[in-house]
Chain A
Amino acid sequence: MFRLEARTSTPAWFNLALPLLAIGATLILCSGLIAIAGAGVVEAYGVMLSASLGDSYAITETLVRAAPMIFTGLAVAVAFRAKFWNIGAEGQLLAGAVASCAVGAIPMPGYLAMLLMAVAGAAAGAVVAQVPATLRVKFKVDDVVSSLLLNSVIYYALMALIEGPWKDSFSGYPISPPIEDAANFPVLIEGTRLHLGVIVALVAAPLIWFLIARTTLGFRIRVTGENPEAARYGGINVQRVLLSTALLTGALAGLAGVGEVGGVHFQVMSDISPGYGYSGIVVAMLARLNPLGVVPAAIFLAAVMTGAEAMSRATGVPAFLSDVIQGTALLAMLVALLFTAYRVRRVGASR
């Protein structure tokens, strides 16, 4: 028999090794599906790698896709640190996209437009996240369920908007009117889609790290998450911390939507997010809720998503493999995390 034994300390190299271990296990497990689909495993992964990171254009495409997941990953990391179970990043992202699109359609100087889009998008996400937090604080409603259900509500609200008042009267497609050209985020490298929002996302990660690790609010968030009883005893208003955390997490998820509108799509449509909100959970867990780890984790998932499409074209393996990889990576990482708290011991059969 094997038995789990509590660790007294966790080796430092685990922080880096565990996510890599989880990713390795995931790729090995998912190679079975590639084989079932009748393609060569090495070839399929090779195509994925070269299409996502193989040349400078591929790298910029991967970064463009990573940007929203950096934001949702940060959002989830912040929320989970406080044990505010925000599964609603998807809805908060959509709210941010809608709000920034509404603002971006107003004619005004470009940089003012971008600033106001960011403010509006962050505010919209924050308002949405405030709902499950308030319901939890005031009515003891489980935040997991309420934030999940809100995703559906926001999605249908978005659909109602683009099927109704925002519907493109010219083409008849359910897509919103585009934002003003001046509000389009500047492209950083000519010939790519690498936009300003990607840089903002990359800068946001160390800022959020600083906030969590070095500020009073960050300290309150961490203590509230680790031990609410101790937090209360130490004079921390746990409820207020939860509400502040909700504002922060919602604003971050909202910014993910802003980047998609301002830098990638320039309008809102039904499939503006291929589940970036849920991917944020995978990203945050792979990063072990560390804001700095969110960046490589998001780039990994983005590379898988970008690569999967090319792999599908080249080998016929359905591109949905990238979704399976996400789910498997999350579960593998959870198992890997077990080894930070426990070690596996062989024990005699006598037990």
Chain B
Amino acid sequence: MSAVFEQIFQVGFLAAIIRIATPLAFATLGEMFSERAGVLNLGIEGIMLLSAMAGFTATSLSGSLWLGVLVAVLTGALMGAVHALFTVALGLSQHVCGIGVTLFCSGLAYFLYRLIFGQQSVPPSIKGFQPVPIPLLSDIPILGPAVFNQFALVYLAIIAVPLAAFVLYRTPWGLSVRMVGENPRAADSAGVSVIGTRFQAVILGGALMGLAGAFLTMAQFNAFTFGVVSGRGWVAIALVVFGRWDPWRSAGAALLFAFVDALQLRMQASGLGHIPYEAFLMLPFIFTIVAMAVMSRNAVAPSALLKPFRREER
């Protein structure tokens, strides 16, 4: 047993956790901004997939990684705007619109990918982001190689968490977002544009989801495949609940989930008994459902979540 234990907790384990957590952190922060403004975005799975495809394609055609990231972010923001158009401007059901956005984005991603790259036996790949060691910090034992010898996008995620907390809690815009998510009518009376703020939050959320998608095809897999997102978007929605709509807790939730996922990967690799590897793939999802059951009792969702705002109606 101790041999298995040692094999699981190698030096690379912490690095793997951080890499798995990165796209989840972006996606979770994105969903959090959207929900804080009162808009559930179930389009996240599709938005991540379309952005992952768009970023990959842009890099593949131009050779520039950062152009690919930019395209992915803009794609995410655009799709966020589409979701906002339906749910905020028109006040349609957030659940069903989100599913519609996911179906639309997934279909479009596969359609355009097949159109551009055709049907190939080996999917085309790109030279993705390479680890960039940070001088001095990367020499810290254990923590150094795991945290400070990573892709640029990982550093971006590490910066994004405190930045998101600052924006949400310490800026006037963040206050507006929280107001329109908690009490839109009061926000409206105070002169805050409910529709405008919600649009901005959902678009920002979409951009972050795009960043999550970019990480998958441009740093983690360096190719676009059909299962590239495989439920990470849905997990992010659960992590927002688990993280109680707070940037720090959400990032913590992403790390915890990444820990379970990395553990699951190691357990697969260690070939425990004759258990099919899919049994391990289930673990993170079961973990998330159980975690939600534990956390949801005293979770406090933004009170205007799922409620469209129409000024004329009381």
Residues of A within 8 A of B (CB): 3-4, 6, 33, 36-37, 85, 87, 131, 135, 139-142, 144-146, 148-150, 152-153, 156-157, 159-161, 163-164, 278, 281-282, 285, 318, 320-328, 330-331, 334-335, 337-338
The interface residues of chain A, by DSSP majority, are classed as helix
Contacts of A150 in B (CB 8 A): 285, 289
Beyond A145-B292, A149-B285, A156-B285, 20 extra complex contacts between A and B, CB < 8 Å: A3-B312, A131-B289, A148-B42, A149-B289, A152-B230, A152-B282, A157-B282, A159-B276, A160-B276, A160-B282, A164-B274, A164-B276, A278-B99, A281-B96, A282-B100, A282-B103, A318-B114, A318-B115, A320-B114, A335-B86
* Complex contact B92–A326 (CB within 8 A): no
Residue pair B104, A324 in contact (C-beta under 8 Å): yes
In the complex the two chains form, is A330's CB within 8 Å of B100's CB?
yes
B contact set with A: CB distance below 8 Å: 40, 42, 46, 86, 90-93, 95-97, 99-108, 110-111, 114-115, 230-231, 234-235, 237-238, 241, 274-279, 281-282, 285-286, 288-289, 292-293, 296-297, 299, 310, 312-313
Q: Which residue of A lies closest to B313 (CB)?
A: A6
What distance in Å separates the Cβ of B35 from its nearest Cβ neighbour in chain A?
A: 11
Known: A6-B313, A323-B110. A334 touches B288 (CB 8 A): no
Taken together as a complex, chains A and B put the C-alpha atoms of A149 and B282 apart, in Å, by: 10
Interchain CB contact (< 8 A) of B286 among A4, A153, A328: A153
Indicate if the CB atoms of B111 and A146 lie closer than 8 Å.
no
Closest 9 CB pairs of A and B: A327-B104, A323-B107, A327-B103, A324-B107, A160-B278, A330-B100, A164-B276, A318-B114, A320-B111
In the complex, are the beta carbons of A33 and B276 less than 8 A apart?
A: no
Q: Which residues of B contact A142 (CB under 8 A)?
A: 241, 292, 296
Measured CB to CB, the closest approach of chain A to B45, in angstroms, equals 9
* Chain A residue nearest to B87 in the complex (CB): A334
Q: How far is the CA of A92 from the CA of B112 in the complex (A)?
A: 30
**What A residues does B46 contact at CB under 8 A?**
327
**Across the interface, do A160 and B96 meet the contact criterion of CB distance under 8 Å?**
no
A-B pairs with beta carbons under 8 Å apart, 19 shown = A3-B312, A33-B111, A140-B297, A148-B237, A149-B234, A150-B285, A152-B234, A160-B277, A160-B282, A163-B277, A318-B115, A325-B107, A327-B101, A327-B104, A327-B108, A331-B97, A334-B92, A338-B90, A338-B91
**Cβ–Cβ contact B296 & A140, under 8 A:** yes
Contacts of B93 in A (CB 8 A): 334
A14 to chain B, nearest CB (A): 16
Contact status B92-A327, CB under 8 Å: no
Residue pair B234, A145 in contact (C-beta under 8 Å): yes
- Residue pair A159, B293 in contact (C-beta under 8 Å): no
Question: Of residues A85, A159, A321, A324, which shows the largest number of chain B Cβ atoms within 10 Å of its Cβ?
Answer: A324
A328 adjacent to B297 (CB under 8 Å): no
B276 A330 Cβ-Cβ under 8 A: no
Q: How far is the CA of A328 from the CA of B101 in the complex (A)?
A: 8
**List of B residues within 8 angstroms of A335 by Cβ:** 86, 90, 92
Shortest A168–chain B CB gap in Å is: 14
Contact in complex: B289, A146 (CB < 8 Å)? yes
CB distance A163 to B292 under 8 Å?
A: no
Name the residue on A nearest B108 (C-beta): A324
A150 vs B238: C-alpha distance when bound (angstroms): 12
Given contacts A87-B99, A149-B285, A149-B289, contact A327 B105 (CB under 8 A): yes
Rounded to whole Å, the gap between the CB of B290 and the closest CB of chain A is: 10
Taking a contact as CB atoms under 8 Å apart, the answer to whether A326 and B103 are in contact is: yes
**What's the minimum C-beta distance from B38 to chain A, rounded to whole angstroms?**
15
Residues in B neighbouring A135, C-beta threshold 8 A: 289, 292-293
